Amino acid sequence: MACTSLPAMPPAALRVLDIVDGDDSGLDKLAAIIGQDAALSTGILRAVNSGFYEMPMKVASIQQAAALLGLPLVKTLVLGLSLVMSVKAQQTRGPNHVTYWRRSMYCASAARLLAARVLPSAVEDCFVAALLMDLGTLVLDRVLGEAYEDVCDRAKTHGDLLILEAHAIGITHAEAGGILARKWKLPPMMEVPIAAHHGPESVGDASLRQVAEVVSLAGRCADVFVGERPAETIAALRKTLLERYQIGEADCDALLCEVARKTADLGPSFGVPITPTADYESIREKASQRLLEISLARGRAADLPVNKRRNARMRRDGKIPLTPCANGTLGKQVIVRLKDLSACGIGLTHTHRLERGTQFIIQLPQPNGLSKSLLYTVLRCEMVGGVASIGAELTAVLRPEAVPDELRISSGQAVA
């Protein structure tokens, strides 16, 4: 609080916070604020006309934007953009600021999309809070310099950063962001989620906790695109969205696809370049092997009885190697596409048939450097448009000693 070089709240943002949404003069006040800042005016119109808001026509003025989008949306957009422009103008050195702002764009896009689905009354609050939630990292960099850079360098994930901050300097970026938000006199609907985005369950007020939960999940969405371990993040996100909001895996994947698309539109409006190849489908395909391992580990496939195979199946859509078994002998390894997966079953698509009753093995690498070999028996194979849709049941998890170089399986049995 004693640091004289902390980012200051820009005058435009201060004045925007004073505008009451229901005030008939609100639009005129907003237009006057924006009209005094040419760069802000240009930025607002660029954002409104981007693909992020999908306007049916080109918007030429702030009045027109407010008429089409609503005063609350334009007001929060002005607030967010003016704060970002002010903070970026004061940056000099420190952590990788390009990565920081890229993550902020993914956070904001994800928060708006998720809130529109689960918390429609607070969409714009979620957007601004997510956009600003990691400002504490810039604050700590400004105050601590190289000491904080060392902490950032040692963090492999965003979650690691929180732990290292607490141990090394006694304060986290979430807490520092909350301090700055209070100094700026941001409303509680923004201040509290910024301070609690790593622990929304600690927020007592139900309304504020709901916003903090959306903002926290938006950060996890961002980690899918900018983090080093996307598979673990995707798996955790799918689990949380299903348990908290009954959003299934397919809808979760669709949401992340939309986050990637919207962020590509939003980033340039804030002067942040977004890598055009960072689409979710590519990330998911690269992570498919690890996602399969996580799913099998969660389901304890080797320990569940066969009658559990009717459990809900989960789409995977990745490519995996498969070794057919026919007449007790291993065939040539082929690459198939994993369609879905349950605790004791697997769905595949392939360019060739796998006959009912035949078996195949998939091998999954483990953290200890060994492989886990899973034996499946084909229950169905249907040709659809020249592609075989295959369903199989888990027959056994093979012991390592049961998988020699020349594996032979007799009468459909295996050592398990």
Using DSSP's 3-state secondary structure scheme, residue 391 falls into strand
* Residue 296 is assigned to a structural domain of this protein: no
* Residue 300 is assigned to a structural domain of this protein: no
164 and 253 together in one domain: yes
Structure confidence by residue, pLDDT tens digits, 272-321: 888 766 789 888 888 877 787 777 666 544 444 444 444 444 444 577 88
Q: Which residues of 47-72 are buried (b: 16+ CB within 10 A; e: fewer)?
A: bbbbebbeeeeebeebeebbeeeebb
147 and 239 together in one domain: yes
Phi, psi of 38 (to 5 degrees): -65, -40
CATH of the domain at 332: 2.40.10.220
105 and 25 together in one domain: no
271 and 320 together in one domain: no
282 and 346 together in one domain: no
User: What whole-number distance in Å separates Cα of residue 57 and Cα of residue 68?
Assistant: 10
361 and 327 together in one domain: yes
384 and 316 together in one domain: yes
Structure confidence by residue, pLDDT tens digits, 351-381: 888 888 888 888 776 656 666 778 888 988 8
111 and 225 together in one domain: yes
* Residue 412 is assigned to a structural domain of this protein: no
The residue written with tokens 């002998």 in the block is 329
Structure tokens at 336: 């198939």
67 and 100 together in one domain: no
CATH of the domain at 99: 1.10.3210.10
User: What whole-number distance in Å separates Cα of residue 216 and Cα of residue 107?
Assistant: 9
Structure confidence by residue, pLDDT tens digits, 217-263: 999 999 999 988 888 899 999 999 999 999 998 899 999 999 999 99
Per the structure, the count of domains in the chain is 3
280 and 315 together in one domain: no
What pLDDT score does 158 carry?
85
Domain extent at residue 27: 1-90
Structure confidence by residue, pLDDT tens digits, 251-266: 999 999 999 999 999 9
